[in-house]
Structure 1
Amino acid sequence: MSLDGKVAIVTGSGRGLGLAYSQELARRGASVVVNDVDEQTAADAVASIEAAGGKAVAVVAPVGPTETARKLVAAAVESFGRLDILVTNAGVLRDTVLWKMSDDDFDTVVNVHLRGTFTCVREAVTYMREHEVAGRIVCIGSPTGQRGNFGQTNYAAAKAGIVGMVRTWALELKRAGITVNAVIPVAATAMTATVPYFAAAVEADAAGEAMPAFFRHDLGFGTSDDVAGLIAYLASDAAAGVTGQAIGIGGDRLQVWSHPEAVATAYRDGGWSYDALDADFTAEFGGQLQTVGETFPPLPDGLQR
């Protein structure tokens, strides 16, 4: 698989998952526009790509505003002559429970994740459609957006919204030959490093050691590099028939998430009044109510911290 001659933008790519995505795209032959809010971090990311023989430039700007989206596309075209791939990875966290979450906590996270994805994709596909580029859009989601997570109202809303936009854009861009997919990564990051349950895996990754098989196989929890291959695949010509999907990856596990579907249906002549619901709801649906959040099995002996 080669991305020779392709040009990619990866937002939030100065470190962590975003950096791994950029490095893998460059290793496959793409020229990359790196993005971060910190100038030195962005410069270091570019240097790491160039040291491995790749091509990259940096745009230092916060994702969210339309101005940043325009800068990113302009940098791709001015530096490398075109734009083929966009990976929207930039994000921030402001975790707290609902009753303590401020307007700023909510707006900051939604602005970067949700609005930033919208503005960057809008700018990228405007270029792709105008220049008849059968482009690739990869938007980064999260298990939190699929299942919910305690203390992450803002993040859950943004990540769920991204998957909703991906499904819509796949419909709108099909005729142009532009694919749009969401990737749901499960990997050692700054966020998972704070969770005691993952401590043994995070510590192994930080030490350059293999993660215990329990994490990689049973939980589908791995490294940033484990996710990067899927990003490159979805950015390639090989994935031309894959669009509108939410694909989970982590460790040794690859998943396709289902679109929301009704799990139980009941009909009643004349409709469902309060009295009818009171009488029949539990009988009809009590065994079909869905769980929320994620649950994990107990850690095996020797992996507790």
Structure 2
Amino acid sequence: MDLSNKVAVITGSGQGLGLAYATDLARHGAAVVVNDVNAEAADKAVAEIQQAGGRAVAVVAPVGPTETAQQLVATAVEEFGRLDIMVTNAGILRDTVLWKMSDQAFDEVVNVHLRGTFTCAREAVLRFREQGEGGRLICIGSPAGQRGNFGQTNYSGAKAGIVGMVRTWAMELQRAGITANAVCPVAVTAMTETIPLFKPYIEEMERTGTLPPLIRRDIGMGTTGDAAGIVTFLASEEAAEITGQAFAIGGDRVALWTHPALEAITYHDEGWAAEDLAAAWPALSEHRESVGEEFPAELTAGK
């Protein structure tokens, strides 16, 4: 899977999943623009990629503003001559329940995740269309955006919005040969290490270097490296016909998230009054959806 003629921007790639994506793309030959708000992390990432024989430069800037998106694309073109792949990975957390969430906590998360994905995708597409050779948008979502998650109004809302934008972009960009896909990874990172449910397993991994099958297969969570291959695959020619999809990946598991679909369709002549809906609800309720992640009883026992 040769990406030696490709150039990629990966936002939020100084550490964690973003670094894994950048490293794997570089290992397959792509030149990469590493982005992070932490200059030390970005420089270290670039050094590691270069030491392994890859090509990389750093842009230290916060994702969200249009100016950062423009800088990222301009750097790719100035340093490597073109842009082929945009991976929108940058993200932050400001977790708290709805009634305690401040405007600032909401806006900060939405700005980085949702607006940052939008501004970076827009600038990349402008360049892709100018080059006239197609391109790849790979936008990082989350299971929280698909199922919801307690204390993450801002994060789950932004991640759900990212998948919605990807589906729209897949339609808008198809004629230009540009694909748009979402990846919803689950991996051991700074964001997941604090989750009490996973903490004992992560501590075990730190001691032994392995995670049990319950985590790797049933939960679909592994190392950051386990989730990197999907980005390289979607950036390759082998994925040229794949667009508008939301992939779940982690540990030993890969899957596709379904698009929302209508369930339990029923009709009532002349429309629906409140009383009619009350009468119809018992039948409809048999098809109601659950919320939040559903974990195996073995994991949640005693929690």
Which TM-score bucket, shorter chain as reference? over 0.9
**Once the 2 structures are TM-superposed, how far is the Cα of residue 286 of structure 1 from its aligned partner?**
1.4
**Once the 2 structures are TM-superposed, how far is the Cα of residue 205 of structure 1 from its aligned partner?**
3.9
Q: In the aligned structure 1, how far is the partner of 2:257 from the partner of 2:126?
A: 28
Q: Which residue of 2 aligns with 1:70?
A: 70
Give CA-to-partner distance per residue, 1:116-167, whole Å, 9 cap, x none.
Answer: 0000000000000011121111000000000000000000110000000000
Q: Which residue of 2 aligns with 1:102?
A: 102
Give CA-to-partner distance per residue, 1:76-126, whole Å, 9 cap, x none.
Answer: 000000000010000000000000000000000000000000000000000
* Inter-CA distance 242–260: structure 2 relative to 1 (3 Å threshold): same
1:281 has 2:278 as partner: no
Map 1:92-171 → 2, pairs under 5 A: 92-171=92-171
Determine helix, strand or coil for the equivalent of 2:82. coil
1:236 has 2:245 as partner: no
**Once the 2 structures are TM-superposed, how far is the Cα of residue 208 of structure 1 from its aligned partner?**
6.4
**Once the 2 structures are TM-superposed, how far is the Cα of residue 204 of structure 1 from its aligned partner?**
4.0
Q: In the aligned structure 2, how far is the partner of 1:263 from the partner of 1:255?
A: 21
AA aligned opposite 2:88: T
Structure 1: 4+ residue segments shifted above 3 A: 204-208, 298-301
Q: In the aligned structure 2, how far is the partner of 1:247 from the partner of 1:270?
A: 41
1:58 has 2:58 as partner: yes
Determine helix, strand or coil for the equivalent of 1:86. strand
**Once the 2 structures are TM-superposed, how far is the Cα of residue 213 of structure 1 from its aligned partner?**
1.5
**Once the 2 structures are TM-superposed, how far is the Cα of residue 28 of structure 1 from its aligned partner?**
0.3
**Once the 2 structures are TM-superposed, how far is the Cα of residue 217 of structure 1 from its aligned partner?**
1.2
Determine helix, strand or coil for the equivalent of 2:175. coil
Q: Residue 64 of structure 1 contacts residue 115 of structure 1 at CA under 8 Å; is this kept in 2?
A: yes
With normalisation by structure 2, the TM-score equals 0.97
**Once the 2 structures are TM-superposed, how far is the Cα of residue 279 of structure 1 from its aligned partner?**
2.0
Q: In the aligned structure 2, how far is the partner of 1:111 from the partner of 1:136?
A: 22
Q: Where does the alignment leave 5 or more consecutive residues of structure 2 unmatched?
A: none
Give CA-to-partner distance per residue, 1:193-214, whole Å, 9 cap, x none.
Answer: 0112212432244346121111
1:294 has 2:293 as partner: yes
Q: In the aligned structure 2, how far is the partner of 1:78 from the partner of 1:122?
A: 18
Q: Residue 135 of structure 2 contacts residue 177 of structure 2 at CA under 8 Å; is this kept in 1?
A: yes
- RMSD over aligned CA atoms reads 1.6
Determine helix, strand or coil for the equivalent of 2:86. strand
AA aligned opposite 2:18: G
Map 1:30-41 → 2, pairs under 5 A: 30-41=30-41
AA aligned opposite 2:292: G
Q: In the aligned structure 2, how far is the partner of 1:151 from the partner of 1:18?
A: 24
Q: Residue 197 of structure 2 contacts residue 299 of structure 2 at CA under 8 Å; is this kept in 1?
A: no
Q: Residue 205 of structure 1 contacts residue 223 of structure 1 at CA under 8 Å; is this kept in 2?
A: no
AA aligned opposite 2:99: W
With normalisation by structure 1, the TM-score equals 0.96
Q: Which residue of 2 aligns with 1:214?
A: 214
Number of residues paired by the alignment?
Answer: 303
Q: Residue 188 of structure 1 contacts residue 205 of structure 1 at CA under 8 Å; is this kept in 2?
A: no
Q: Residue 200 of structure 1 contacts residue 304 of structure 1 at CA under 8 Å; is this kept in 2?
A: no
Give CA-to-partner distance per residue, 1:159-193, whole Å, 9 cap, x none.
Answer: 00000000000000000001100001011111210
Determine helix, strand or coil for the equivalent of 2:254. strand
Determine helix, strand or coil for the equivalent of 2:5. coil
**Once the 2 structures are TM-superposed, how far is the Cα of residue 55 of structure 1 from its aligned partner?**
0.5
Q: Residue 188 of structure 1 contacts residue 201 of structure 1 at CA under 8 Å; is this kept in 2?
A: no
Q: Residue 31 of structure 2 contacts residue 54 of structure 2 at CA under 8 Å; is this kept in 1?
A: yes
